[in-house]
Structure 1
Amino acid sequence: MIAIGSDHGGYALKERIIRHLKEAGIPCEDLGCHSTESCDYPVYGHAVAQAVAEGRCEKGIVVCTTGIGIAISANRHPGIRCALCADTLTARLTRLHNDANMLALGGGVVGENLALEIVNVFLNTPFSGEARHQRRIDLIEKADK
């Protein structure tokens, strides 16, 4: 299950990603927002991060206009490694090296076609499991305690 959320600036892209996931047979939980009416991105970044941190959802995707604010909000939660990606290379490397469990996108920065490719790469790239990368993740997680 993929948790997904956005503010008003990411609403259109979030809706497109949801359709894409459903077409691919990937279950998702839409945690809002539900319109283009102005709202606050931390509400939705926190909601998605909580769903992932609690284990209700395996991964999360968050979208705001730039992706920056919603990623910062998500990363405030212990156990969350939310990466802002604007290309497929960073999406692949953040999964391989950082075992990122959340993806942030900028709805006003990344076009729809590229965003869907980033989502595909992020969801289909496994963590490498290499000792050096696990050691670094452990150091990140240690800071949460």
Structure 2
Amino acid sequence: MSTASTRLPEGRYGRSADERADRKLKVIGAVLGAALLVLVGWFAYYYVGGNKISAQVIAFDPSSTAVKVHLEVRKDKDASGYCTLRSQDADGTEVGRADFRFDQRSSRIDKVVTLRTTARGTTAELLGCHAD
């Protein structure tokens, strides 16, 4: 005994619905993948190459009314901007916050700045730097 095939002949009736759906999914996946690559590239440029000023806290010296902070700032020679510092007391309460400008025409600046506080600060934290 032989059994009859219930499959349609290949190519006779066009694409199946599954093949059309697979093609749509591939196109949608390619578009979403390209959009993701553009987004990742934009974030990489902004965070790696877009910031023209950066700094780090080298040391700090607290007192009852202020914290002296030694900052090392790196920037493009032409760039100007500011860095935001804050200080907290032993409980973690913020006791001082200020912006310090850096307009010098130098690519590396070592500077000691004074952050005034409302109580004795036990930390000196660099919150970030921003170019103008």
* TM-score class normalised by the smaller sequence: under 0.3
> What TM-score do the two structures reach when normalised by structure 1?
0.20
Looking at secondary structure, tell me which structure has more strand per residue.
2
